[in-house]
A = this chain, B = another copy of it.
Amino acid sequence: MIRVMIADDHQLFAEGLSQALDILPDARVVGVVDSGPALDAALLNQPAEVSIVDIEMPGGDGIDAIAGLGSRTRAIVVSMYASDDQRTRAETAGAKAFFSKGVPLMTLAAAIRAVADGEDLIGLDDTSRDEVLERYGEARLDPGAASLTVREREILALLAAGVSATDELAERLYISQKTVKNHLASIFQKLAVSDRTQAAIEAIRLGIARPN
């Protein structure tokens, strides 16, 4: 599940995009803000892998804002009137992609997946960029935890119950530590997380395990 934050002062656009992205099985809009500083503040309390940032916003340029975000989120800059020097400025500020607001939604969706996966689209020429987007055209697996196998759910449940060490997990399940790590790697990929802490939280959030 890719968490997306939207920064745009045009409510109609922002909320419409929010609704549209929520249709995607592999992305979820976790917040909408209307200025650069507000984006910065929102990300403090609500992590998001990807942020969609408009250039034209009151109270400071959107590009100035993302320069100060560091690795907190990966920024995709969108502009009403896309120009080459805007693209250059976005790249300098550390944005991972740059689009005109005229692109199809599915292109943006593909870009979100690509950027969340670590791709950097902004420096590419058009043909290379389209090639990458092509690869991310389809939704990345599971609507939640649907694709988890039974064994993977067992491991997640234990993890969320506090059994975090590999050797303990292996003992409980009567399998080798190596197999535990293999299952965990598979879980990480399916839940789009990067370590067992995030997996445990996600397991609780998805209702696979109860917090108590």
Query: Is A71 positioned at the interface, with any CB of B under 8 Å from its CB?
Result: yes
Q: Are A47 and B161 in contact (CB under 8 A)?
A: yes
Q: Are B71 and A164 in contact (CB under 8 A)?
A: no
Convert A157-184 into 0s and 1s, putting 1 for each residue whose CB lies closer than 8 angstroms to a CB of B: 1111111110110011000000000000
CA–CA, A114 to B136, complex, Å? 54
Interface set, chain A 153-212, CB cutoff 8 A to B: 157-165, 167-168, 171-172, 193-198, 200-202, 204-205, 211-212
Q: Are A198 and B72 in contact (CB under 8 A)?
A: no
Contact of A196 among B46, B194, B197 (CB under 8 A): B197
For residue A202, which residues in chain B have a CB less than 8 angstroms away from its CB?
162
CA–CA, A183 to B132, complex, Å? 41
A interface residue count range (under 10 / 10 to 19 / 20 to 34 / 35 or more):
20 to 34
| Min C-beta distance of A198 to chain B, whole Å | 5
Query: Is A83 positioned at the interface, with any CB of B under 8 Å from its CB?
Result: no
Query: Is A70 positioned at the interface, with any CB of B under 8 Å from its CB?
Result: yes
For residue A211, which residues in chain B have a CB less than 8 angstroms away from its CB?
201, 204-205, 211
Copies of this chain in the oligomer? 2
| Min C-beta distance of A190 to chain B, whole Å | 16
Q: Are B47 and A171 in contact (CB under 8 A)?
A: no
For residue A127, which residues in chain B have a CB less than 8 angstroms away from its CB?
none
Q: Are A172 and B212 in contact (CB under 8 A)?
A: no
Query: Is A44 positioned at the interface, with any CB of B under 8 Å from its CB?
Result: yes
Q: Are B167 and A71 in contact (CB under 8 A)?
A: yes
CA–CA, A201 to B156, complex, Å? 12
Q: Are A163 and B201 in contact (CB under 8 A)?
A: no
Question: For residue A202, which residue of chain B has the nearest CB?
Answer: B162
| Min C-beta distance of A74 to chain B, whole Å | 12
Q: Are A168 and B201 in contact (CB under 8 A)?
A: no
Q: Are A159 and B197 in contact (CB under 8 A)?
A: yes
List 5 A-B residue pairs with CB atoms under 8 Å apart, sorted by A's residue number.
A45-B157, A72-B168, A162-B202, A200-B200, A205-B211
